């Protein structure tokens, strides 16, 4: 049975810390709902009602566009190993771009990666747990090196050019705030 909480308690924080991946879903009133898998030890719990993740350069930048437009964010964690459990954190977020004071204040919480473009800083409004009985059992083999290799091959200038060409406008035509 699903249960709601006002914040991330120590037990939920410990569960979240053990997960190798998480999913983000963002939306605005009109347009597509964006759902993305994330990994690479990129999420940190910064308090009972705050979490953040280091967002790496990718093919799109939908979460940024949705947050710029005042949208909502859900972060979901699933137990693929061990006892079944799903945890969802609901809230809103601000985007802290590389080089901003907010980014600089939080980057020390993360392993820095070439290709990091922003930190998504989420204010958690509520947390829900559910059973996860239908989530399959899977064994973690490791993180894929592909994105880091791609970023290394692009280099800093190539990443800036890529972001300018592919990360400035969402698939629904919304600005991402990335210049």
What was the pLDDT predicted at 112?
87
Q: For residue 57, which of 114, 16, 2 has the smallest C-alpha distance?
A: 114
Q: Is 166 helix (H, G, I), strand (E, B) or coil?
A: helix
Report DSSP letters for 79-141, one per residue: -SSSS--EEEEEEEEEEEETTSHHHHHHGGGS---TTEEEEEEEEEEEEEEE--TTSPP----
Write out the two tokens for 74. 């859900």
State the average pLDDT over residues 78-92: 97
Q: Are 96 and 146 in contact (CB under 8 A)?
A: no
Q: For 94-120, how does the pLDDT look when each residue is reduced to its tens digit (9 = 90+)?
A: 999 999 999 999 999 999 899 999 999
Distance CA 115, CA 97 (A): 12
Q: Are 126 and 3 in contact (CB under 8 A)?
A: no
pTM, rounded to two decimals: 0.95
Q: Are 61 and 170 in contact (CB under 8 A)?
A: yes
Q: For 62-84, how does the pLDDT look when each residue is reduced to its tens digit (9 = 90+)?
A: 999 999 999 899 999 999 999 99
Q: For 5-55, how does the pLDDT look when each residue is reduced to its tens digit (9 = 90+)?
A: 999 999 999 999 999 999 999 999 989 999 999 999 999 999 999 999 999
| Secondary element (H or E) of residue 13 | helix 10-18
Which CATH architecture is the domain 3-134+143-166 placed in? Roll (2.30)
Sorted by sequence, the CB contacts under 8 Å of residue 104 that are 6+ apart come out as none
């Amino acid at each position: 049975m699903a249960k709601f909480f006002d914040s991330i308690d120590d037990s939920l924080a410990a569960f979240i810390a053990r997960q190798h991946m998480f999913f983000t879903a963002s939306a605005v009133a009109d347009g597509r709902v964006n759902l993305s898998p994330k990994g690479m030890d990129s999420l940190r719990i910064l308090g009972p009602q705050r979490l953040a993740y280091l967002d790496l350069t990718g093919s799109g930048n939908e979460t940024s566009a949705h947050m710029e437009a005042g949208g909502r964010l859900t972060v979901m964690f699933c137990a693929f190993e061990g006892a079944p459990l799903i945890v969802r954190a609901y809230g809103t977020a601000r985007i802290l771009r590389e080089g901003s004071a907010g980014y600089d204040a939080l980057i020390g919480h993360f392993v820095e990666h070439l290709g990091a473009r922003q930190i998504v800083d989420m204010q958690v409004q509520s947390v829900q747990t559910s059973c996860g009985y239908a989530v399959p059992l899977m064994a973690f083999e490791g993180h894929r090196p592909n994105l880091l290799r791609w970023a290394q091959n692009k280099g800093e200038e190539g990443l800036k050019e890529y972001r300018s060409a592919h990360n400035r406008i969402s698939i629904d035509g919304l600005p991402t705030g990335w210049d």
